[in-house]
Structures are given as C-alpha cells and as structure tokens.
C-alpha cells in the first residue's frame, strides 16, 4: 500500500465524536479542500507547500472567526489530540 493510500485510509476512517456539531454542507466543503490538495499534488506542488499554504489561510481566518484566545485554545486542543494526549476539554 502506497503512502497516499495509507493517508486516504486514515482520513476515511477518521471518526468524529457524536457530540460534534458540524456546520451545514461540511461534507461538501471537506470534499473541496481534499480535492484541492489532490489537484495540487497531481500538478507537482509539494505537499509541504500545500500544507503551508493551508496554514497561511487558516490562521487569520481562525483569529477573525473566534478571536485570539479561542483560536489559541482550538490549536492547543488539536495539538494535544495529535500528540496522543487527552483533550484539554476532558479536564
């Protein structure tokens, strides 16, 4: 199995908590983002460049949408979950 196939499997198998409230048309939006990433790879744009561009777009949008404290909290929560630790919300 290729690395790309492994990543696709992990993304497809990712389970969201039952209590998570997703906005309307989330699935459509997620499909578009994934399609953009795949198109960039097909066009030869390196994965690190695509991910850096996503972060450059995401960071100011998080600040505008949630304010600095909430945006920082969301990023800390995400980092804790990625690191295998428990979510700060659980405490």
Q: Mean pLDDT, consecutive 10-residue segments, the chain of 91 residues?
A: 60 58 88 94 95 94 95 90 63 42
pLDDT of residue 53: 96
Residue 36 confidence (pLDDT): 94
Taking the C-alpha atoms of residue 53 and residue 55, their distance in angstroms, rounded to an integer, is: 5
pTM above 0.95, yes or no: no
pLDDT score at 2: 66
> What pLDDT score does 90 carry?
46
As given in the structure block, the two tokens for residue 62 are: 């998080």
- Residue ranges per domain, the chain? 25-90
């Amino acid at each position: 199995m290729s690395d790309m196939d492994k990543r696709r499997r992990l993304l497809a198998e990712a389970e969201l908590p039952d209590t998570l409230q997703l906005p309307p048309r989330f699935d459509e939006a997620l499909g578009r983002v994934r399609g953009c990433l795949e198109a960039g790879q097909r066009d030869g744009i390196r994965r690190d460049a695509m991910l850096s561009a996503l972060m450059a777009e995401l960071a100011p949008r998080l600040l505008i949408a949630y304010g600095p404290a909430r945006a920082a909290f969301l990023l800390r929560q995400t980092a804790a979950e990625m690191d295998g630790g428990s979510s700060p919300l659980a405490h």
